[in-house]
Chain A
Amino acid sequence: MTAEQQAEKVSPLREIMETREVELNLGPQHPATHGVYRALVKLDGERVLGMESIIGYLHRGIEKWAEYRNWTQATPIFDRLDYVGAVLNCHGYVGAVEKLLGVEVPKKAQYIRVVLDELQRIASHLVWLGTHGLDIGAQSVLFYAIREREAIMDLFEAMLGQRLLPNAYPIGGVRFDFPKGWVEVCRRLLDVLPQRIDEYEGLLTGNRIWRQRTIGVGVISAKDAIALSLSGPTLRGSGVNFDVRKAIPYSSYEDFDFEIPLGQNGDVFDRYLCRVREMRQSLRIIRQALDGMPEGELRGKVSKIIRPPAGEAYFTIEAAKGQLGFYIVSDGGDKPYRVHVKSPSFVNLQGIETMCKGNLIADVVAVIGSLDIVLGEVDR
């Protein structure tokens, strides 16, 4: 038999055995994508060869909308960016306008903002923890995490009148002081939460299944993470010490003693640990802010009609997802000329391709969870 004949003989088998790249659509309506996010995954068997993110299903034109309202009226729309961390978004926008106006926020208002921001950060991380666990198959964490988040939402309701999208801060300060009895309830929650976080860690950190699903999965090096402009726990999981609260302090964060938890390997597990440890640090900050609450005004001197000087300002805060930046441009009028939101979820999602390459298709779900994206903020 000649070689040609031989080849002819095996060819039908080869055709059957031939390996091909498969393109798989993950989403847009998939419970593990945390919203309407579509990933076009290129697969070789179960291995991910490449990945393309398709976003924009939730684009609402928030930046355009803000240009048609005056500076004050534009505030509530930014709550709708990251709807599980609404207070932080509000702080970002309001802080940018204050920076452009040159308003000094009274110390007491700054401290109240710190308390609410950190409560919101914990609430956001709890939602992330529950859903991330759910994605990987650890269902029970969700019920516990939501229970504690509920307590925080009740605190928001008592103070701000709203649970999810409270439109927390006016430009120049805060609206109200803590209501009567609020601080006591808050302190009781602070006493309970460390044990509750221990419980979550008991369910996950030492859990063999959890460790197998997360350690060494979705790795991104510190160099890549910086080059891709990642921020927040997603960046710190790779060991880069960049937290806006320490690096570019705002709202009196320099007064508080807290640590920045860092990861080492930049995998899903390290990002998980960073966030869980961040919750503990947030508790520390809240306790210090409540203890050292200064007396004084609640709002700085801001005129009723706000007309910032012509020019631009870029103000960033450390939101639950990462560095949230507001680039605002004023033409001296009573409406924003341009508002641009640097949303951490949008930028962090860029890293998913690097993280997923070479991993299994099942790990894509773990990586999406570890990025902690909110599609309202990705698409704006």
Chain B
Amino acid sequence: MSDEKPPVETPAPPAAEAAAPEAQAKPAAPKPPAPKPAAPAGPKKWEPSGEIAENGAAAALKAKFGDVVTGVKSPCKEATVLVPKARLIEILAFLKEDAACAMDYLSDLTGAHYPNNDKKFEVAYHLYSLTRKESLRVKVQLDDGEPCPTATGVWPGADWMEREAHDLLGIVFEGHPNLKVILLPEDFDGHPLRKEFPLGGAQEEMIRSNKYGKPVYLPEEIEEARKIIEERRHDS
């Protein structure tokens, strides 16, 4: 972690150097405001380490869509590519149909929430070629609330996996034939795998903390329940 701090702070020294000659050239001019301290580092962005791994399918994909497909670093040398949302389905269909890729098996489809990144969500497709025995991870980045085109047209097996990602992360898959809840109760509020969602679930924690042992609805009751939760946290 410590070795990632310098890149954040390095912009500051060049700015100071650039400001210095200017100040010498025009001594009369009011001193330019002191260079702002490097923007507060803020919450740490998620970024993979390691190096970009290549394999046959990734190479074939880059040869065809060279300008839009970028490799992603992977600490354990798994071939990973990042593709733009607009051309996602085209690329997935190419990966499935093209003989050099032949990614006929969708092994897994899931998402993850990165609240500190510019694009808050990522959907990862884990593809495998039964004939060529090769794996590839395709990723697409999304904003909060931005819909992702559905892959059910390419692999019908994406159906439930997309429903699951929709349930737990709130990613909307555009064009999905039956995008309704699958793992959660129908009236569940929120998406549990988002990072801001509390582990116990908002409702459950309030019910537990409530002295009446029942759900709370009124604002003052909710406020009271929150206080009790806070107190318990300090106690434990």
Contacts and interface: CB of A to CB of B under 8 A. Distances in A.
Interface of A: 55-56, 59, 61, 63-65, 68, 99-100, 102, 226-230, 240, 242, 247-248, 308-314, 316, 323, 325, 327, 329, 331-332, 337-338, 340, 342, 346-347, 349-350, 379-380
Given A63-B193, A308-B75, A309-B75, A325 B157 contact: no
B156 interface: yes
B102 to A, nearest CB: 11
B78 A347 contact: no
Contact of A56 (B130, B161, B182): B182
Given A64-B192, A314-B126, A347-B160, 8 more contacts: A100-B76, A229-B158, A247-B133, A310-B47, A312-B48, A327-B110, A347-B161, A350-B160
Contacts of A61: 192
B183 A379 contact: yes
A56 B192 CA distance: 14
Contacts of B137: 312, 314
A101 to B, nearest CB: 8
B104 A325 contact: no
B1 interface: yes
Contacts of B185: 56
27 contacts: A56-B183, A63-B168, A64-B192, A64-B197, A99-B76, A102-B75, A227-B157, A229-B106, A229-B157, A242-B130, A248-B133, A310-B49, A310-B75, A311-B49, A311-B76, A314-B108, A323-B107, A325-B107, A325-B126, A327-B108, A329-B46, A329-B112, A331-B46, A340-B110, A342-B108, A347-B160, A379-B183
B211 to A, nearest CB: 26
Most buried by B among A55, A64, A342: A64
Nearest to A326: B108
B93 to A, nearest CB: 13
A309 B192 CA distance: 25
Interface of B: 1, 44, 46-50, 73-76, 78, 80, 104-108, 110, 112-113, 124, 126, 128, 130, 133, 135, 137, 155-161, 164, 168, 181-185, 192-193, 197, 199
A55 B76 CA distance: 34
Given A63-B193, A310-B46, A331-B46, A229 B75 contact: no
B106 to A, nearest CB: 5
B3 to A, nearest CB: 10
Contacts of B112: 329, 337-338, 340
